[in-house]
Amino acid sequence: MKKLKFGVIGFTGKLGKEVVNLFQEKGYKLVLKVNRKINEQLEKPDVIIECGLSNTVDQSIKLSEKLLVPIVVATTGLSPDQIKGLKHLSNYVPVILSSNYSFGIQVLLKLVEESSKKLKDWDVEISEVHHRFKKDKPSGTAKMIKDLVHRKDVQVNSSRLGNVQGEHTIKYGGLGEVLSISHSATSRKTFAEGILKSVNYILKKKKGLFSFKDVVENKK
């Protein structure tokens, strides 16, 4: 079987390293790598994984369009123009965009959809905690949770604390009871595993914009 060739933008970052380790464990070949100092392409990759910061996304969009190679975007804190750029790119190649590639968060999002419909007149509060190095605030995942609540008055509290990998909680307060739904990422490998699933999904597509929800639900 043909060995998958992959490229990672931000290959020396916390997430990039997990992706490289997991993909190399599978026997895949790293043929394109980009960080602040290195920009190296040995061969044309079959897929590009964007794990840099929001300032690397424009370059990745151009690269994916030039090489006509599918792209999985894990980077968060994207600008509206970058999201527009990815939508445009998806007319030519398959693109997956998600602020969170963990399976548990997909389950949390389903629960939030359900509980937000049932608890319309309860107070809602979202909180997220991440390591002190995280650049964007609130997290992309907190924004996804907020979008599912469909209310304008929802407060999002963000804390930056030590090396916490990612915690998200949504609380619904009624008169006499509180419902909390929480998720903690305990290893970054979980994101790399979701990215691997996304790569296997995207390689079967010709073009279009997809989410990790589509991957998990194996949307045709």
Give the footprint of ligand NAP on residues 122-151 (CB under 6 A): 136
The answer to whether 126 touches 105, Cβ cutoff 8 Å, is no
The answer to whether 7 touches 29, Cβ cutoff 8 Å, is no
Give the footprint of ligand NAP on residues 198-217 (CB under 6 A): none
- Provide the sign of the torsion angle of the four alpha carbons 212, 101, 65, 42, taken in this order: negative
Q: Interface with ligand NAP includes 7 (CB under 6 A)?
A: no
Residue 123 beta carbon to ligand NAP: minimum distance, rounded to whole angstroms: 28
Residue with smaller CB distance to ligand NAP, 65 or 136? 136
Q: Of the residues 33, 130, 146, 197, which is catalytic?
A: 130
Site string for ligand NAP, 176-195 (x = CB under 6 A): ---------------x----
Residue type, 160: R
The string over 157-180, giving b where at least 16 C-beta atoms fall within 10 Å of a residue's C-beta and e elsewhere, is eeeeeeebbbbbbbebeeeeeeee
Residue 35 beta carbon to ligand NAP: minimum distance, rounded to whole angstroms: 3
Query: Which residues does residue 184 pair with via DSSP β-bridges, in sequence order?
Result: 167
Stretch that binds ligand NAP, among 22-30, 71-79, 117-125, 142-150 (CB under 6 A): 71-79
How many other C-beta atoms can be found within 10 angstroms of the C-beta atom of residue 127?
A: 19
120 catalytically annotated: no
Residue with smaller CB distance to ligand NAP, 52 or 172? 52
Would you name the residues annotated as active-site residues?
Answer: 130, 134
